[in-house]
Structure 1
Amino acid sequence: MKVFQGIEELQRAVGTHLGHSGWHTIGQRQIDTFADATGDHQWIHVDADKAARSPFGSTIAHGYLTLSLVPMLVGEVYRVEGVRMGVNYGANKLRFPSPVPVDSKVRAGVELLSLAPGGGGHQATVKVTIEREGGDKPVCVVETLTVLVP
C-alpha cells in the first residue's frame, strides 16, 4: 500500500506504476449474486452444466463484475491523505480482452497517468489492468477518472 501525503506528493508519482493489489478469487456465488443484482442471468454466467459445454469450459464472470472490483482492488494499492474524498468521475478506454472463468484469481496493476486541477479538486486518471493468475492476456483494462476533493 502506497500512502501519499497530499496532492503534491501524488503529483510526483504521475507516470509511474503504483503497484499491484492482492489476488482475489471470483467464485460462482459472487457471479450469481452479481447476476441477481443486475438482472443479467445469461447462461454463460449462471448455468454451470451448459457453460461446461461452451468454448470456455465453465461459467465465466460478467465483464462488469470484473470492472466493479476496481475500487476494492485499487484501494489495496494506494490512498491519498489530506483529501476529504475521492469521487468517481468516469472511465476511458474500457476493454475486456480475456474471460474470467469461475474460481479464477485476479489482481490489479495500477498506473497513475495524470493528475490535473478540475472538477472542484484534482482529477486523477489511473490505468487499471486486471490480470488473471495463469492468464496470458489481461481480463480488464480501464482508465478510471477520480476527482480528489481537498
Structure 2
Amino acid sequence: MAVYSLKTVQVLPVTLEKAWDFFSSPANLATITPPHMGFNIISKHHGAKMYPGQIIEYTVKPLLGIPLYWMTEITHVEEGKYFVDEQRFGPYSLWHHQHHFREVPGGVEMTDIVHYKIPLWILGDIANALFVRKQLKGIFDYRYKKVEELFR
C-alpha cells in the first residue's frame, strides 16, 4: 500500500498577484479541470477567496461518468506563497496537494506537489499502475495547457 507523488512545475508570464488571485479562487478550479471529469463545486459556502479551514465540496466523474462526492479542506495558506488542500472525504485514502508560487525572472514559477494513496491495499496499487497515475498525469497535463492558454 504505497504513497505516490506527482510534481509539476510551470512558469507563467504574469505577476505573482495575478497568479495568486486566479489560483486562490475556488471558482477557477472548473476552468482548469478537463471537461470529461464533470467537475462541479457544490459547496454552499466556498467563497471567493480561500482561507485555512475552508471546506470545498464538489462532484467529479473520474471513472465511467459515475459522479463521486469529494470534500477537501484548505489546511494551510501563506498569501502569495503557497496553499495546501487535503481530502477529507473522497476517492483517495490520502490526498495532500501543495501549490507553491514564487517570483522568477519573467513571471511566476508555480509548483504542484501531490501525495496520494489509493484504498484497497494491493488492488489500489494495481489500479494506480493501470490507470490512476495516468489519469492524474492527464489532468495535470490538461491544466498545464489550459493555464498556458489563459496566461499567454
Structure ranking higher in helix proportion: 2
